[in-house]
Amino acid sequence: MILLQLLKSFLIIGVGAYGGGLVTIPMIEHQAVTVHGWITASELSELIAVAQMTPGPIGVNAATYTGYRVAGIAGASAATLGFVIPSLVLCLTLVYLLSKFGNAPWLEALKKSVQPAVAGLIAAAVLTYGKAALTDVWTAVIAVAAFVIFILSKDRIHPALLILLGGFVGVFIY
């Protein structure tokens, strides 16, 4: 039963994951924390950190990690499969539509109109993750410093380096 719940929940998340991995965070929070209680908000913060540090897309990593926490390898497989199926179906459908209709105005309008919704979901992910990750003044200082350094470096500093630097600073602070 739990495997079907994982599959169904991550199918729902996978359907709404247009726009990238960060969009999935509020949806994972809703399904895994609020609806099913599989993980806590604190564990979600850890899940996001692990999913960002490991190779591969954050959404797939988060699905796999959540599924594993809930039901071991079978749970990881069910959650990952549920998350990936909608993307696979969408990609195949888009390839068909693009090959059949090319640059039709309605298709261009569809692509353009989805972008604001994705921006809103990314903003929700920032708020969700921020509430869990920013637990005191020092975590806020580290977050602001990483943000400022990244922006001022104009993408010349790799995000992984900033994450490692934040961890290094945290070791000394805590």
Does residue 158 belong to any structural domain of this protein? no
CA dihedral 116, 121, 122, 128 (to 10 degrees): 150
Residues ≥6 apart with Cβ < 8 Å to 76: 64, 65, 67, 68
Does residue 142 belong to any structural domain of this protein? no
Report how many domains make up the chain.
Answer: 1
Q: Which domain holds residue 20?
A: 2-133
**pTM over the 0.85 mark:** no
CA dist 152 and 44 (Å) reads 29
On whether the CB atoms of residues 25 and 14 are closer than 8 A, the answer is no
The predicted-structure confidence for 122-171, as pLDDT tens digits, reads as follows: 888 788 878 878 889 999 999 999 999 999 998 788 888 998 999 999 99
Q: Which residues of the chain have pLDDT under 70?
A: 19-20
The beta-strand segments (E) located in the chain are none
The predicted-structure confidence for 150-163, as pLDDT tens digits, reads as follows: 999 987 888 889 98
- Candidates 59, 49, 52; CA nearest to 25 is 59
Angle subtended at Cα 140 by Cα 44 and Cα 146, rounded to the nearest 5 degrees: 90
Across the chain, how many H-helices and E-strands are there? 7, 0
On whether the CB atoms of residues 62 and 129 are closer than 8 A, the answer is no
